[in-house]
Amino acid sequence: MKRCLDCEQRFDGRSWVCPGCGFAPTVLCDVPRFAAPMDDDGFDRRAFDRLAAAEHGSFWFRARNRLLSWSVERYFPAAQSLFEVGCGTGYVLEGLRRTLPALRLVGGELHSEGLRHASRRMPDVELLQLDARRVPFDSEFDVVGAFDVLEHIDDDERVLAELFTAAKPNGGLILTVPQHPWLWSAADEYGEHKRRYRRSELVAKTTAAGFTVRRVTSFVSLLLPVMVSVRLLGRIRRPDPFSELRNSRADRGLERVLDLERALILRGTDLPLGGSLLLVATRT
């Protein structure tokens, strides 16, 4: 169900024109616009170009995509629709389309540069330009997700509340976030992160939004010593922040390590430490 961001009326149908107040979003390049794009807020537009170029060649992005696809299949096997807020360049949507081709996918992103990449990568997927703190859906999706997005937003609790509204009753939520405040480094500053999460903090905020948490585990756990070493070195040399996600000489070996880690998660092991957190919850 659609939700008018002006008068809050709920309505169905293909049109975005609200039958109550007549509000309609502007449309640019076939993308409905529900918020002013933040392309002049100091964010480096070139970061999306570098991100899009790095994703396919990065063990971290490939491993995370496989973990997310598994999470949807394992916890929401009957899901027919998924909404990703903060879809960036569309890399996760592309991975989900490859593994779950019958799933209806919708992506929302604030930055025009991200949407430009996503529309090229996924021309058949519905994309919306929106603010994660104001989502124009109500009880619409079987699964909603934010994958390394919440850490960029001051009011992350409001985003979780909006995702709760967008999910169907008995629908699901999947989140990934960076973990451990003590891992803070120049890479977080470059990415304009507001925080790295403690597990208890993420669970508390998700529960406060109304969700029931089903699973929480760390990942990038077996590589945590390498990650700590890289970040300690970065405090001295301040390396390219993308270097953590890209290492061509060791890429396949690092990917195999994360594949082993994923096998542990698939068997039910909740890893206590790691560079990131995966959380799965339901709207009951």
| Domain ranges within the chain, ordered by starting residue | 26-283
C-alpha pair distances (Å), 2 with each of 19, 72, 211, 220: 11, 23, 21, 37
Q: What is the pLDDT of residues 1-12, one digit of tens each?
A: 999 999 999 999
Predicted TM-score of the model (pTM): 0.93
Considering only CA atoms, which of 103, 151, 153, 101 is closest in space to residue 130?
A: 153
Tens digit of each residue's pLDDT (9 = 90 or more) over 261-283 = 999 999 999 999 999 999 999 99
**Could you tell me which CATH class the domain 26-283 is placed in?**
alpha beta
Is the pLDDT assigned to residue 236 strictly greater than 70? Answer: no
What does the pLDDT read at residue 48?
87
pLDDT at 255: 92
| Alpha helix stretches (DSSP H) within 81-151 | 91-99, 112-121
pLDDT at site 63: 96
Give mean pLDDT, residues 119-141.
Answer: 96
pLDDT tens-digit readout, 6-35: 999 999 999 999 999 999 999 988 999 999
Q: What are phi and psi of 278, to 5 degrees?
A: -115, 130
Residue-level pLDDT at 110: 95
| Confidence band for 40, pLDDT divided at 50, 70 and 90 | very low
- Looking at 47-56, 183-192, 226-235, which range is the least confident one? 226-235
> How high does pLDDT run on average in the chain?
91
- C-alpha span between 249 and 272 (Å, rounded): 29
Q: With 0-12 CB in 10 A as exposed, 13-18 as middle and 19+ as buried, what is 169?
A: exposed
Q: What is the mean pLDDT of residues 115-140?
A: 96
pLDDT above 70 covers a percentage of the chain that reads: 91
Segment holding 123, helix H or strand E: none
> Is the model more confident about 24 or about 187?
24
pLDDT at residue 225 in the model: 92
pLDDT at 187: 84
